[in-house]
Amino acid sequence: MNKRIGFIGCGQMGQAMIQGMIDAGLVEASDIAATALSDETIDFVTDEYGINISNENKRVARESDLLFLAIKPYVYQGVVQEIKDEVSEGTVVITIAAGITLDAMKEAFGRNVKVIRSMPNTPSLVGAGMSVLCPNDFVTKEELAEVMEVYESFGEAEVVEEKLMDAVPAVSGSSPAFVYMLIEAMADMAVQQGLPREKAYKMVSQSVQGAAQMVKETGRHPGELKDAVCTPGGTTIAGVTKLEEAGFRNAIMQGMKACTDQSKALSKGN
């Protein structure tokens, strides 16, 4: 890809994306520039990824063709005010935080800017990300394709209408945290039963990965796949029964609803 890529902010999500696109061979480390506030982060990212990193937001904004705003929602206004005069008409600005609407970005810049609202997730670090994108009307099909290529270099990507974006954090952006909690809980019980923790994490994480792959590749309904494991009077149906008694599925749905409600609240605030 013959594009200069910039990141304003280089925390865990930004690092995951940078690592993913470098590992995929999409860009050279020398073609990526980023900024960070702390010297500690600057030193770490320099050593770990070999990209150009500094605290010069304006310079990175001015020199980037694709500019990722990898910052927290509450600092967007301040950062945009700092860089808005440096962003050229041809630059595509990509947001990665929940609740930052396309209208909010237009208002912050005070002019028409090419903006893509996105929601990646941290498995991008290992090339298994799931990202969702929504462009504004000023982004061309070719530019959207270029940004999709970036996201698909470290996983899969989908384009949706903006009215659906508030549902995305729960589905893909935040959901890895829920899965990590599941893995931790399952492994803890395995350890309680005597399995070494390292083996427990390996066995549980591979089982979760395999189950997800079954849903994705077979196209079968998750309930059908669950039923196929539940032999009459067996161990699986005993466990499923206890999970149902404890409100397992309802707890997951309520957690996702809370995530979605928070995303909607952040959108309204912008």
Consecutive H or E run containing 233 = none
Residue 95 main-chain phi, psi, to 5 deg:
-95, 150
Contacts of residue 186, defined as CB under 8 A and 6 or more positions apart, other chains included, come to 200, 204
Query: Mean pLDDT lowest for which of 9-23, 55-69, 233-247?
Result: 9-23
164-190 pLDDT, tens per residue? 999 999 999 899 999 999 999 999 999
Q: Indicate whether 270 pLDDT > 70.
A: no
> Does 12 count as an annotated binding residue?
yes
User: Which residues, other chains included, contact 179 with Cβ-Cβ below 8 Å and sequence gap of 6+?
Assistant: 208
Overall pTM > 0.85: yes
CA gap 147, 141 in Å, rounded: 10
Residue 72, annotated as binding a ligand: yes
Q: Which of 125, 151, 128 is nearest to 26 (CA)?
A: 151
Of 21, 43, 41, the residue nearest 30 (C-alpha):
21
Q: Which CATH architecture has domain 5-161?
A: 3-Layer(aba) Sandwich (3.40)
Per domain, the residue ranges of the chain are: 5-161, 173-268
pLDDT of residue 15: 92
Is 71 annotated to bind a ligand? Reply is yes
Instruction: Report whether pLDDT(267) > 90.
Output: no
Q: Which CATH number applies to 173-268?
A: 1.10.3730.10
11 annotated among ligand-binding-site residues: yes
- Return the axis-axis angle of helices 197-218 and 222-229, rounded to nearest 10°: 130
- Give per-residue pLDDT as tens, 186-204: 999 999 999 999 999 999 9
| 9 among annotated binding-site residues | yes
Distance CA 137, CA 124 (A): 27
Q: Is 13 annotated as a binding residue?
A: yes
Q: Does 10 appear as a known binding residue?
A: yes
